[in-house]
Structure 1
Amino acid sequence: MRLTKAQYDEIVQFITKLRPTRQCMRLLKERFPCQSQSTLLSIFSQEYQKLTKRTHAKHHTQEAVEMYYTRYLNEVAKDSTTPILLALANEVEFSPALMARTVLERFLQDHDGLPPSKQILSGMLRDPSLIPDPVLANQVHLCTINDCCNGPLVDCIRHSIGHEHEVLLREKLKKHNLAFLDEDQLRVKGYDKTPDVILEVPVALDGHVIHWIESKASFGDETSHHMYLQDQFWSYWNRFGPGLVIYWYGFIEELDCNSERGILLKDEFPENLVTLKSCMAQNNDHGRNTKDCLSESNQETA
């Protein structure tokens, strides 16, 4: 789904008024009924991530950490059955999963006398039963399952969704009988940084030749797209030539401004691809050369 910059800004402005709870998606859908649920969720998640980055420093000062830990100890001594960490995270407008991580890290430092390794900390967040204190384990679990934008549960969901769309891309390519190499095959060949697929025989789309395709199971906003351009897309262009990026949950229309330079944006798998095989067939039927056929086909699909 393509959105104009004005439409996107309107959604973002509404999101700033919402608290990061699971109920916010119902409010978003009521306010923007014409937008898909997946698009709204992706935009909301991205905006919440931006907020988390902007406020990260103030929640990780020594004073803030000690205050959160002391509040937790005092409250849990009164009643260990209430969701203390979750309530505290909502009170200070901090991600519940990150609040759990902060307090758990401080607890383990007290418990073991040394700061825990990232591996141990991450393992306990993924599986709270590993936490030596059952009360804190329950508190961490409540934070994890109630955070819709951060934490190991959300990371697992994101990974699964990304993998699902990569599989969808490969299925679409096979359906169109297009030969390609995926990331695993390319790594075997020694490539260290690659798009999701490289087409063994290029295709044409909207008057442009496509050598590779990248799948993004997210919405393409300005921040993420410019980051991808710098870190990935231009690198792919330098190595493999022009390519296609599919933002499955949509993107801001105005960002599709690099097609003449060799990077096209779509919000679904394009059905109007022009293959070399189809051009050769037309060439045999009408006595034209392949270059002319490609040119004519591209003009028809543009």
Structure 2
Amino acid sequence: MDRQTYQKIYSSLHNFGDVFRLSEEHTKPAGMLATILNQKIVKMTRFKHRKVYSREKELFSRWKQGRSILELAEYTYFPPTLMASLILKNCDLSRKNINWLFKHLDCIENRRLRKEVRKALEADYFFSPRAHEMQCKKGEMGEEIICKWLEDKRISYCTEAEIRAQGDGKTPDFVLSDPIPIDDHMVRWIESKALFGDDFEHKHYAKKQFREYADIFGEGMVVYWYGYLEDLDSEGEGYLIKDYSFFEGCKEQIDELFNYLVYW
């Protein structure tokens, strides 16, 4: 995606109600825009987290006075799941216990609290346990498409799990037995990311993973399933960047991946 289009879409995306409108307006897949929205919300929340938690005593007091968790989330523009976590923390619960209760809501003894936490998790498209599970599922689906593509082309490979089982350390999702030529690169590894490749995500993973993989395994390929900024800098980094459009013959699986998180 060109940067100008991305910036127009990014600045106009505020909630899921914007996804389909902007999808039609810019003729981009709804799944791509839903992913961009998710990354935007997560990034904004990182910057807002400390500020909101500096007010936790005030917010807990407001909750005790009758304001609901959803109302407090809307008041602070903070994700409902994280607001529920803040309230539970101030009920003297540890993070471990909070995470457990999010998966066992019926074990919350206080009736009001149980009802409000349930509503908060149901309303949260980005930070709830269900949202996390769906993101993990998207990652698995992306890797399954690469498996199919490799096997259809009879390309031998080892997965990250297989390599780690042998005791090796950090490794990409797929290491090829023999390099394959793609766009003047001899690709020896493939890393799958169920993300849109924006500046923030790419800089993070280039530093954390991609450069190290290139140093260890040689040239590789990074797949941003939901697209990427066309001017992302990977020149001389030891890897090329592709998206869903590279994988011909996998349309049915790609359509499933793109629609997975759009409909809650």
Do the aligned partners of 1:203 and 1:209 also contact (CA within 8 Å) in 2? Answer: yes
Q: Which residue of 1 aligns with 2:23?
A: 29
Task: Summarize the alignment of residues 44-193 of structure 1 with structure 2, pairs less than 5 Å apart.
Answer: 44-61=37-54, 64-75=55-66, 84-107=68-91, 109=92, 116-193=93-170
Residue pair 2:173, 2:192 contacting (<8 A) in 1 also: yes
Shift of 1:130: 2.1
Distance in structure 2 (CA, Å) of the matches to 1:209 and 1:187: 23
- Aligned equivalents of 1:135, 1:231: Cα separation in 2: 43
C-alpha distance in 2 between matches for 1:130 and 1:198:
44
Decide which of 259, 266, 272 is 2:242's aligned counterpart.
266
Offset, 1:261: 3.8
- 1:41 to 2:41 alignment: no
- From 228, 231, 247, give the equivalent of 1:254: 231
- Secondary structure of the corresponding residue to residue 253 of structure 1: coil
Cα pair 1:198 1:211 within 8 Å, conserved? yes
Deviation digits for residues 230-265 of structure 1 (CA, Å, limit 9, x no counterpart) = 00000100110010001110000001x324442100
Amino acid corresponding to residue 241 of structure 1 in structure 2: G
Structural RMSD (CA): 1.7
Are the structure 2 counterparts of residues 237 and 40 from structure 1 closer, same or farther at C-alpha, using a change threshold of 3 Å?
same
Are the counterparts in 1 of residues 69 and 84 from structure 2 also a CA contact under 8 Å?
A: yes
CA apart distance, 1:266: 0.4
CA shift for structure 1 position 31? 4.0
What are the residue-to-residue correspondences of 1:161-240 with 2, within 5 Å? 161-240=138-217
TM-score, length basis structure 2: 0.89
* Misfit runs of 4+, over 2 Å: 22-32, 257-261, 268-272
Tell whether the 8 Å contact from 2:89 to 2:95 is kept in structure 1 after alignment. Answer: no
State the secondary structure of the residue aligned to 1:252: coil
Provide the rounded CA distance (Å) in 2 between the counterparts of 1:95 and 1:27.
23
Q: Which runs of 5+ in 1 are unaligned?
A: 77-83, 110-115, 273-302
Aligned match of 1:11: 9
Matching residue's letter, 1:23 = G
Q: Which is greater in Rg?
A: 1
TM-superposed CA distance for 1:28, in Å, is 3.2
Deviation digits for residues 184-211 of structure 1 (CA, Å, limit 9, x no counterpart): 1100121221100000011000111000
The one-letter amino acid of 1:55's match is K
CA distance in 1, matches of 2:237, 2:125: 37
Aligned residue pairs total 248
The share of aligned pairs that are identical, in percent, is: 28
Residues 1:31 and 1:248: Cα distance change in structure 2 (over 3 Å): same
